[in-house]
Amino acid sequence: MIIAIDGPSGAGKSTLAKRLAKELGYIYMDTGAMYRALAVKVLRQGVDLADDVKVADLVNSTEIDLQEQMGALKVLLDGIDVAADIRTPELSQMASKVSALKAVRARMLDLQRDMARRGSVVAEGRDIGTVVFPQAEVKIFLEASAEERARRRCAELRAAGQRVDLDETLREIAERDKRDSERDLAPLRKAEDALVIDSSAANADAVAAQALAYIRTKTREN
């Protein structure tokens, strides 16, 4: 089975996907981490995103994999774990820009579909239910207000010891929402057959309970 979870940045997709994967014994696929990993390589090599040839060369020579080890997700970029390097605001913005490129989307599509062949997965991202796995048995669109998502992001970064400003974080989230929703290639949008869950005023337990109930209903249907 494939469970596809889409939604904007900060809506709680990762929290929900990890929980569902653990509850169901499925593979957890954080596609956002894959794009962030590629953004690490782009920044380290100083590749100009406007140079289609160099971008294509970089993407096609890059291997990205996700592996769980003792409850922690390893994000392997060419065999090296970069999980500790991908959660900064700079990487978030670069990942959004990188993900809008055709060569990047094509390569990631292959990597993500190959990963799903290992077994049942819970995949989360922006275009999982619409582009990557349109045949997914379960599709969930998780949303939350921009203000709540900015608050959560600030709390997460401050807990990691980073200095952040709420207004600046809200501005960055608004910019990313606009870029993700308006891009020509695989824009962020809700699949017609997706269950919409608003997590603005709901805790993780309530969101997970609603999602699990829906999954059980879809499982019986199939």
Tens-digit pLDDT profile for residues 35-67: 999 999 999 999 999 999 999 999 999 999 999
Q: In the CATH hierarchy, which top-level class contains the domain 2-208?
A: alpha beta
Rounded Cα gap, residues 156 and 172, in angstroms: 15
Tokens 């993900």 belong to residue: 99
Least confident stretch, 90-99, 108-117, 148-157: 90-99
Tell me if residue 27 falls in helix, strand or coil: strand
Tell me if residue 188 falls in helix, strand or coil: coil
Work out the number of other CB atoms within 10 angstroms of the CB of residue 39.
Answer: 26
What dihedral do alpha carbons 78, 79, 80, 85 form, nearest 10°? 50
The per-residue pLDDT for 220 is 80
Least confident stretch, 72-86, 88-102, 129-143, 201-215: 88-102
Domain regions of the chain by residue span:
2-208
Q: Which among 204, 140, 184 has a CA at the least distance from the CA of 3?
A: 140
Largest Cα–Cα distance in the chain? 50
Mean pLDDT of 117-127: 93
Q: What is the DSSP letter of 2?
A: E
Residues 6 or more apart whose CB falls under 8 angstroms from that of 154 comprise: 164, 165, 166, 169
Say if residue 100's pLDDT is above 90.
no
Rounded Cα gap, residues 127 and 139, in angstroms: 11
Average pLDDT over all residues of the chain:
93
Cα-flanking dihedrals φ and ψ of residue 121, to 5°? -135, 155
Q: Which among 176, 155, 159, 171 has a CA at the least distance from the CA of 92?
A: 176
